C-alpha cells in the first residue's frame, strides 16, 4: 500500500512538474509572441508615419509647383498687356517683341472662368505654363485653330473644358487686341491616337478645336467651335 501511495505521489509530482513546464513554455511563447507583435506594430506604425509624411510633402510640392505655373501664366498676361499698350511706340523693348512672337493671343471662356495666354508653338515646357496652339493659321483664315492645354483635374488650364455645352462662348484675342467669338458646336472624346479632330474640318469655315487629356481613361476631350460675328 505504501509503495502504491509513494508511486502515485511521485506520478502526481511528475505530472505537476510537467504541467508547470508546459505552462512555462506557453508563457514564454506568449511573451515572445507579445514582443514580436509589439515590434511588428511599431515597425508598421513607423512605416505609416513615413508614408504619410512623404505623401504630404509630395502633395505640397506638387500644388506649389502648379501655383508657380499659374503665376507665370498670369505674369505673361501682364507682360502681354504691357506690350499691346506700347506696341505703337517706335522703340519697343526687345523682350516685348519676343512676347509677341511667342504668344498667339489670349483665350477666354466665361462659363468656366478661363483666361490664359496662348503660346504660338507647342513644346513641353510651354505646355507646363499655358495652353499652346499647334495647328492652324491666323484667326482670319478659314482654318482649324487647334489649342492644347493640360488637365490638372482642378480649375487650372483646360481642366474644365469638358463642362462646356453647345452654344457656349469662347473668345480669342489676337496680338493686336481684336476679339474673335466662337460658339461651341461639339463636345466629345477620342482615343489618344485619333488625329481626326485636327485634320477633319470644313475648309470653308473658321474652326476652333480645344484638346486636353481625360486622365481617367487616357482619351482626349475635344471641344469644337465655329467663329461667329460679334
Instruction: Give all domains of the chain, ordered by start, each with its CATH number.
Output: 103-228 (2.40.260.10)
The residues of the chain scoring below 50 in pLDDT are 1-9, 16, 62, 79-80, 82-100
pLDDT given for residue 47 in this prediction: 75
pLDDT given for residue 80 in this prediction: 47
pLDDT given for residue 145 in this prediction: 97
Q: What are the grid coordinates assigned to 183, written together?
A: 460658339
Q: What is the pTM of this model?
A: 0.63
pLDDT given for residue 37 in this prediction: 65
| Cα torsion angle, 198, 208, 128, 217, sign | negative
Q: Can you name the residues that pair with 211 across neighbouring β-strands?
A: 148, 222
Q: Give helix 2-85 / helix 94-102 axis angle, nearest 10°.
A: 110
Amino acid at each position: 500500500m505504501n509503495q502504491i501511495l509513494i508511486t502515485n505521489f511521485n506520478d502526481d509530482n511528475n505530472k505537476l512538474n510537467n504541467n508547470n513546464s508546459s505552462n512555462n513554455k506557453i508563457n514564454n511563447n506568449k511573451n515572445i509572441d507579445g514582443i514580436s507583435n509589439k515590434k511588428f506594430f511599431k515597425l508598421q506604425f513607423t512605416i505609416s508615419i513615413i508614408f504619410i509624411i512623404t505623401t504630404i510633402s509630395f502633395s505640397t510640392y506638387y500644388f506649389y509647383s502648379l501655383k508657380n505655373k499659374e503665376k507665370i501664366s498670369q505674369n505673361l498676361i501682364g507682360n502681354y498687356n504691357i506690350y499691346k499698350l506700347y506696341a505703337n511706340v517706335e522703340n519697343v523693348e526687345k523682350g516685348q517683341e519676343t512676347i509677341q512672337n511667342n504668344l498667339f493671343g489670349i483665350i477666354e471662356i466665361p462659363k468656366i472662368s478661363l483666361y490664359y495666354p496662348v503660346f504660338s508653338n507647342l513644346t513641353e515646357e510651354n505646355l507646363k505654363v499655358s495652353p499652346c496652339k499647334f495647328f492652324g493659321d491666323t484667326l482670319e483664315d478659314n482654318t482649324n485653330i487647334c489649342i492644347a492645354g493640360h488637365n490638372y483635374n482642378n480649375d487650372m488650364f483646360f481642366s474644365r473644358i469638358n463642362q462646356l455645352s453647345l452654344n457656349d462662348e469662347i473668345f480669342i484675342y489676337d496680338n493686336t487686341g481684336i476679339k474673335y467669338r466662337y460658339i461651341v458646336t461639339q463636345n466629345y472624346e477620342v482615343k489618344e491616337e485619333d488625329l481626326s479632330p485636327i485634320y477633319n474640318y470644313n475648309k470653308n469655315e473658321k474652326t476652333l478645336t480645344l484638346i486636353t487629356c481625360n486622365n481617367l481613361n487616357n482619351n482626349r476631350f475635344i471641344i469644337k467651335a465655329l467663329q461667329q460675328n460679334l
